Amino acid sequence: MRVEDLVYFCAPSRLVMGAGCRKQLPALLRRLGYRRGLLVTDTFFTGATPWVDELVAGARAHDVELLVCDGGMPDPTTTLCDAATAAVRERLDGMPVDHVIALGGGSNIDLAKALCLTLPGGKPVRAFLGSIDPGTPILPLVAMPTTAGTGSEATPGAILVDPDNATKVAVMDNRLRPAVALVDPEFTYTCPPRVTADAGIDALTHAIESYLTIDSASFDRGGEADPGYSGRNALTMLFAHESIRLCGRYLLRTYQDGSDSEARIGMSYASVYAALSYGSAGLNAVHGIAYAVAGQTHLSHGTTNAVMLPYVLDALADVRREELLAIARLLDISDGDAGIAVARVPVVVRELVAAVGLPTTLQACGIGPGDVDALVRDALAVTRLAKAFPVPDVAARYGAMVRKAWAGTLSGAAHALAQPRRVA
């Protein structure tokens, strides 16, 4: 217990987890009173897996009809959402749907969340940017993630790309948290190594960032009675702690051997626990800077998180020493000297990033020396994340972190003697 906590914790109404648990969904849909839904996915899942046909047939056997929309794309745009809204409404020809199901990675889940807002009235998704009126009808969502990392099955928002200026925008409301989050690790068994790495580092970033973020007692909720994010508390930290432990044990294993079912299951749980942490606590500098890196390089979300995570950890040693020591032990850093153990955390995390084939410096991402100042400026412009970074001078710290990430400089590098990593 932390007596200073101001707990505001939100989670999916129902969380169903376990290998093969997708087979439970048709009966659950019927039990919840659903009769006609929209299944949002992409052409890979309709064309290369049996999962869509199995779900449609299983739902029909329980008197639930599903309309399939397989127009999902990576990094969905507001334009894609509006086009999908119009196409689905035309196919429905006035018949309503009473729920939306998402099958896929974070992009498909984001598109499905947006459609939960736009389908009832046909409005463009831009109408819902910023605060959403409490009277706005929002369809209930069932989220079935197929990667172990995004955490969208437990969060209150959808991230879309605005093609007019190539920036990311968000629709956010606690009613967008799924009514059912169904996490079947078997969906992840065929993920290729690069997708596995991207997703796994994303999960680790979510867990670590929310574990170290601003305290709930200091979080600026802006007077919001129903905040989507509200800072870390003892409950979010419990989930983050377990996620970090699981990532330390299983992330590298899933990358090295995709057929390792124990590791796949472990990372699926790690992803959900991280989402249950950051889905209420929120995130900060890693994601804030990663968004700016993505704006310059168009690299994947997991990659841009991965390159910044070690350097943000390095910058927090003076304000989060106790928590970093706990992370050190979770990552099997056994140095008896606590100062050395804390200094080694960013180094060990960077070694893990490299081991799963992701870049470890901004130079390796294609950022030139002349791009650094603009990168810092763009990162600080993501104010909701910058405000949550628990340091006294955020702007100065951002500048130092980005420059160290460009040069590949870590203060604990002198303590970077190799240690064997646990693989059992």
pLDDT at 424: 33
The predicted structure's pLDDT at residue 422: 42
pLDDT computed for residue 164 by the predictor: 85
pLDDT along the chain (424 residues), means of 10: 93 97 98 98 98 98 98 96 98 96 97 98 95 95 97 94 84 97 97 97 98 97 94 98 98 98 98 98 97 93 97 97 98 96 98 98 97 96 96 97 98 60 38
Three-class SS of 289-327: HHHHHHHHHCCCHHHHHHHHHHHHHHHCCCCCHHHHHHH
All structural domains of the chain: 14-187 (3.40.50.1970), 193-415 (1.20.1090.10)
Residue 418 is predicted with a pLDDT of: 46
Strand ranges (DSSP E) for 239-294?
Answer: none
pLDDT for the residue numbered 223: 92
Q: What is the structure's pLDDT at 167? A: 77
Q: Rounded to two decimals, what is the model's pTM?
A: 0.95
Report the alpha-carbon angle 100-8-119, nearest 5: 20
What pLDDT shows up at residue 414? 65
**Residue-level pLDDT at 169:** 87
- Report which of 128, 75, 76, 72 is spatially closest to residue 100, judged by C-alpha positions: 72
Q: What is the Rg, in whole angstroms, of the alpha carbon atoms belonging to the chain? A: 21
User: Would you give the end-to-end CA distance of the chain in angstroms?
Assistant: 32
User: Which pLDDT does position 416 carry in this prediction?
Assistant: 53
Question: What per-residue confidence (pLDDT) applies to 131?
Answer: 86
* Cα dist from 361 to 27, 205, 307, 365, whole Å: 48, 16, 6, 7
